[in-house]
Amino acid sequence: MSPYLLGLRLSGRRVLVVGGGRVAQRRVPALLDAGAEITIVSTSVTPALDDLIAAGRVTWEARPYQVGDCDGAWLVQACTSAKAVNTAIAAEAEAKRIWCVRADDKDASAAWTPASGKVDEIGIAVTAGGDPRRAAGIRDAVVSALRDGTVDARRNRTKPVGVALVGGGPGDPGLITVRGRQLLAQADVVVADRLAPRALLDELAPDVELVDAAKVPYGRSLSQEKINELLISHARQGKFVVRLKGGDPYVFGRGGEEMLACARAGIPVTVVPGITSAVAVPASAGVPVTHRGVSQEFHVISVHVAPDHPQSTVDWPGLARSAGTLVLMMAVERIGAIAETLIRDGRSPETPVMVVQDGTLPTQRAVTASLSTVADRVVAAGIRPPAIVIVGDVVRVGQEVEMVRAERVP
């Protein structure tokens, strides 16, 4: 017959665990999270349980089970490796009308321990007919769906309010944070950037209002002032607004401006950091931005204006003198001027450079060159934005990795 599922509130109640092995090690933490007062009866315990005992969180009686151990317990876990001992424990508990879970025999067990999980205030418990592996697999799927918003989180009566500035990551929709995906699933309005992971927008509910806030280089663009107004006006209507950006909201994403605008309007703001493309895209191309013995610093530079432009605040001579890695964003269309400036100010013309287009996406491609040849290579390869430019000896590290991999292919 099907079990009757019940959530036990064990705070301050005695729970007996007989056995100190790996099964007990798995079950004790969940019992502690429920506030149970745990007594372990066993001749030995695992190191993990020993840590809990040393911290005073669990009482340990270092001896074999004996009749009378169940007295005063609200729940008993029979976790020994001896079937006869577990049978005796279960018989005592049954006689005293105490629920007992047998780890060795689900059919002889008066109760089952479900595979459990928790997401915020939602608890998940799965029994799957007493099959622990199957129950754990189903539990993991449900927990994952709750975390990423696949399960309809918009029905939550405690839905967030105000505005969430969510970093969507470098492009691959799988690289958004769990928290970012949760909030996106609860949005009433989504204001999305051009570089936000567009595939995630297809998952939005039909009634979610989508605002395209793309800033196309040298093309149509929604002004930052208008974006700020949209965030505030929708939030004032009681709607939960997600501002979905590429990368991280605070790395050349104008997240600070939007935060200030909302703060001045009295709108609560949640900030969800994202994986910045300045680090993720080089990594996806096999290039570490720092590497022991090669580079112990890296600089991230926005090149939305050329080095000689009056509005440029970048210390190009300082960057040229630095031995660190340079990660240049919005730089493809000015790569020639950048290379000339760095060489003029002291960087070697032979400094390796990699340019990665569509980083982390299926269309990702990269070209490598030296500082003196990169402009011609970019033109010849037809590289277009969005792209990341990596300047420094770490590019050779990435090339070395590829060579090692190629040599190991049979």
Greatest alpha-carbon pair distance for the chain in Å reads 89
- Determine which one of 188, 193, 248, 358 is catalytic: 193
Contact 45, 67 (CB under 8 A): no
Question: Of the listed 215, 239, 345, 393, which one is catalytic?
Answer: 215
- For this structure, is 226 an active site residue? no
> How many residues does this entry show for the chain?
410
Q: 159 an active-site residue?
A: no
Using the structure block, give the residue that is written with the tokens 């151990």: 69
Q: What's the order of all strands across the beta sheet hosting 352-357?
A: 298-302, 325-329, 387-391, 352-357, 365-370
Q: Are 43 and 64 in contact (CB under 8 A)?
A: yes
Distance set, CA 204 to CA 168, 170, 180, 194, 284 (Å): 14, 20, 13, 17, 27
Structure tokens at 341: 């400036």
DSSP state of 93: H
Q: Which residues does 381 contact at the CB level (< 8 Å), separation at least 6?
A: 365, 367
How far apart CA 31 and CA 400 sit, in angstroms, is 50
| β-strands 241-245, 189-192 pairing | parallel
Residue 364 CA from chain centroid, whole number: 22
List Cα–Cα distances, 354 to 23, 324, 328, 364, in angstroms.
Answer: 51, 15, 10, 13
How far apart, in whole angstroms, are the C-alpha atoms of residue 325 and residue 338?
Answer: 14
Residues labelled catalytic: 193, 215
